[in-house]
């Protein structure tokens, strides 16, 4: 089932006044797609999920499940959560503390008045799928975080929902478990090919899990695309800095002929990039280059950017160097090692991977 958000808006009225959490979002989640809603805290991503779930009502716009209208203030139509047949996994897991694992998983079936034999069969099946058959008699209080997570997913899956909504389901797990569960979640989603909306603020999760990523900021959709597209062609400085780790270097520079310049230093561009820059018709632009597209050299040569290492942050596989250059402080990754603070270095830029943004486009940091 596909999910359509049609110019959706959500306004909250609080004691301090009105607050617009979602301001006009158009989004189509394809059948069987794993769509990640990514954004910083307060961007409205959880609100968007709650709107899809039917836990919140739209202020404007329309939400459709496979063509069927679920929420439309204009048509005075609202299908409550219990009639939407979508399932949700919460960050807090929200397991029922008074029921054991078996009853937790079978709860949606009990509410739907399925007969007992069928209930047991389904619960055992889903528990097997998630490797929790051994803990069915336990109460949630006796389980570890990872086990609770599985129970929550099992409870969501047991009803064979039309869509699967996940609200930061991995943030309460420790790092190692998070990585494992991530892989497993993706495998599970592939296997069941169920339409999935996944909310997170973690760009790594978004990149690894999503078929597509919807990047949100201040209640608006900034960019929508595959992880590859988001990484290779960020549409705004915000998208550029939010996706990718460590984040992209962004710095203002003056536009020259087939080159950019700052503080008397000029950097030549390959023809394709120069054409892009020319088309922007600007005197100054915001330049973006990812740390992994900067190579650090010990010896200088023509066309390289000279700089001084300020800080070395070892990341294990490679070191993150903060290098002071004519274009400001740039982060660069180096697997070569043995660079030290205050050392003079030269940066070689993969010039075809330089991005340009308009300077006036607000808040690029």
> Which residues sit at the interface with other proteins, rule CB under 8 A?
53-55, 80-82, 86-88, 90-92, 94-98, 107-108, 111-112, 155, 159
- Which CB sits closer to other proteins, 52 or 132? 52
**Smallest gap from residue 29 Cβ to other proteins (A):** 18
Cβ neighbour number for residue 114 with a 10 Å cutoff: 17
Q: Which is nearer to other proteins, 17 or 97 (CB)?
A: 97
- Would you say 94 or 326 has its CB closer to other proteins? 94
CB 182 to other proteins: min, Å? 22
30 to each of 25, 163, 195, 279, how far by Cα in Å? 16, 11, 7, 34
To the nearest whole angstrom, how small is the minimum distance from the Cβ of residue 56 to other proteins? 10
Closest separation between CB of residue 196 and other proteins, Å?
A: 15
Shortest spacing between CB 55 and other proteins, in angstroms: 6
**Cα dist. 189→155, 186, 274, 303 in Å?**
15, 5, 43, 48
| Residue 93 or 238 with smaller CB distance to other proteins | 93
Q: Which two tokens stand for residue 94?
A: 């929200």
Cα gap 277→289, rounded to integer Å: 14
Q: Cβ 47 to other proteins, closest distance in Å?
A: 13
For other proteins, which is the closer residue by CB, 53 or 130? 53
CA distances from 81 to 51, 69, 87 (A): 9, 13, 9
Minimum Å gap between C-beta 331 and other proteins is 38
* Cβ distance to other proteins smaller for residue 81 or 320: 81
Torsion angle in degrees (nearest 10) through CA of 167, 172, 174, 177: -50
Tokens 């950097």, located at residue: 267
Residue 140 or 291 having the CB closest to other proteins:
140
CB of 68 to other proteins, least distance (A): 18
Closer Cβ to other proteins, 112 or 276, answer by number = 112
């Amino acid at each position: 089932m596909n999910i359509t958000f049609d110019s959706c808006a959500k306004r909250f009225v609080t004691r301090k006044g009105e607050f617009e959490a979602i301001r006009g979002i158009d989004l189509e989640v394809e059948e069987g797609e794993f769509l990640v809603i990514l954004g910083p805290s307060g961007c409205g991503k959880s609100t968007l999920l709650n709107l899809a779930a039917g836990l919140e009502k739209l202020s404007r716009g329309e939400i459709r499940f496979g063509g069927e209208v679920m929420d439309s203030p204009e048509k005075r139509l609202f299908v409550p959560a219990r009639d939407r047949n979508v399932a949700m996994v919460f960050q807090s897991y929200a397991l029922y503390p008074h029921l054991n694992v078996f009853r937790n998983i079978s709860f949606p079936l009990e509410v739907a008045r399925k007969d007992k034999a069928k209930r047991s069969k389904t619960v055992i099946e889903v528990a097997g799928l998630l490797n929790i058959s051994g803990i069915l008699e336990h109460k949630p209080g006796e389980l570890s975080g990872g086990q609770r997570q599985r129970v929550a997913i099992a409870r969501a899956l047991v009803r064979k929902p039309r869509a699967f909504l996940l609200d930061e389901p991995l943030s309460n797990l420790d790092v190692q478990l998070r990585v494992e569960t991530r892989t497993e979640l993706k495998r599970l989603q592939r296997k069941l090919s169920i339409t999935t909306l996944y909310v997170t603020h973690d760009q790594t999760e978004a990149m690894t899990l999503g078929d597509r990523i919807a990047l949100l900021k201040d209640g608006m959709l900034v960019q929508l695309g595959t992880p590859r597209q988001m990484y290779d062609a960020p549409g705004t400085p915000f998208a550029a800095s939010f996706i990718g780790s460590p984040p992209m270097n962004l710095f203002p520079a003056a536009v020259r002929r087939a080159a950019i310049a700052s503080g008397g230093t000029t950097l030549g561009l390959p023809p394709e990039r120069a054409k892009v820059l020319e088309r922007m018709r600007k005197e100054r632009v915001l330049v973006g280059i990812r740390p992994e597209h900067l190579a650090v050299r010990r010896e200088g040569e023509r066309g390289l950017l000279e700089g001084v290492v300020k800080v070395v942050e070892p990341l294990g596989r490679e070191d993150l160097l903060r290098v002071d250059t004519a274009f400001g402080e740039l982060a660069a990754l180096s697997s070569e090692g043995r660079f030290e603070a205050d050392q003079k270095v030269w940066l070689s830029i993969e010039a075809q991977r330089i991005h340009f943004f308009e300077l006036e486009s607000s808040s690029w940091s």
